[in-house]
Homo-oligomer: A and B are copies of this chain.
């Protein structure tokens, strides 16, 4: 990887002014996408190409999960390595989805990721995958959920009482209210799509949503199918130790970057290495759990009891599992404890949205976009992590001088960013090579390709 000194130093007022002028004249299109790339595979490449085809943007911005993903698991390779792959395949700028959003359910994940794209101030269009490919339907549901009718609320509560998990209760309530038996409400991409549109409504965003009908592997399909393998299937193949054999199943840059990371002992990183987390849980009682996000509906009690009765992580998760609590939700809740994700701070974050644009990498072309973005973003860009406090000070100064409108709350900015640093510091502990397992990954510079 190549690092640059600091994009904060590169602002060239004249260039930026001209670029903005040009943008206004041309109605510049910037495509925004939300990704995890764990790891980047041919399905992702295909989706990226189709999205570009559909929108025909001048630039592509991705917001990507950091070192932990929405399934409540550490990513196989770190965020900088994954950002590099994205940049090699046509993304111009990659921002990190702050950890607190990346490890929430579809609703929180969408609030964070759409918040990032919206607050760049430049994204004009987003494209997301969808099983149904039916944007009108998705928007209808999103509107229904945003402006909830009493009829829907009642139905939702009824489903919960029947013991359904949140997502299922919502699905059955919608089916009831819409008088619809449509399969699409149980598809993960459609559900996420609904949350994206809800988030756009919340932010009063002018970004145009588009959907691409999803083809190929279901993302939960764990069967290895060469180029058509899902991310789960690829992770499974890597976990079994056959990395060299899957060269054909993943794009060249994915293979190259992963190979390099693995050779340095910085992966593959797996959840199982977190097994001592049970020690933490055994020290906690119900009240201790209740401070953290996701502990409601009795999940706290299940954590207390299962941590005492289980001998390892998998056993623990199996003991916590009920119809109401999905595996992903349980794993995310475990991370909420590990990272001390206070309930009130997460809820405030969901209300306020993300507080900064953490730059993970950009291309030469992306650099131009960053110049424009610096004039239009409504939350500060952090490219040099060690300067995060200075960046906050400068932003507050600008605000007090009336030089720009920023949607930030200083305490929350700091809290959100320090959680990203903490997540990285615990992530690297899981590197196979103990020499690499040190803290401070965030104090690297963004990747530049």
Q: Which residues of A contact B (CB under 8 A)?
A: 273-280, 282-283, 307-312, 315, 338, 340, 422, 425-426, 429, 431, 433-440
Contact = CB atoms under 8 A, between A and B. Distances in A.
A283 B438 contact: no
Contact of A308 (B274, B278, B310, B438): B438
B436 A311 contact: yes
Contact of A276 (B276, B283, B422, B425): B276
Contact of A309 (B315, B429, B433, B439): B439
B276 A434 contact: no
Contact of A438 (B273, B274, B275, B311): B311
The 6 closest A-B pairs by CB, nearest first: A276-B276, A311-B437, A311-B434, A308-B439, A312-B434, A282-B425
Contact of A426 (B279, B310, B422, B437): B279
A311 B431 contact: yes
B440 A308 contact: yes
A447 B279 CA distance: 26
A55 to B, nearest CB: 42
B311 A435 contact: yes
B438 A310 contact: yes
22 contacts: A273-B276, A275-B276, A276-B276, A276-B277, A276-B279, A276-B429, A277-B279, A278-B429, A279-B429, A280-B280, A282-B422, A282-B425, A282-B426, A282-B429, A283-B426, A308-B425, A308-B438, A308-B440, A311-B429, A311-B433, A311-B438, A312-B434
A273 B273 CA distance: 11
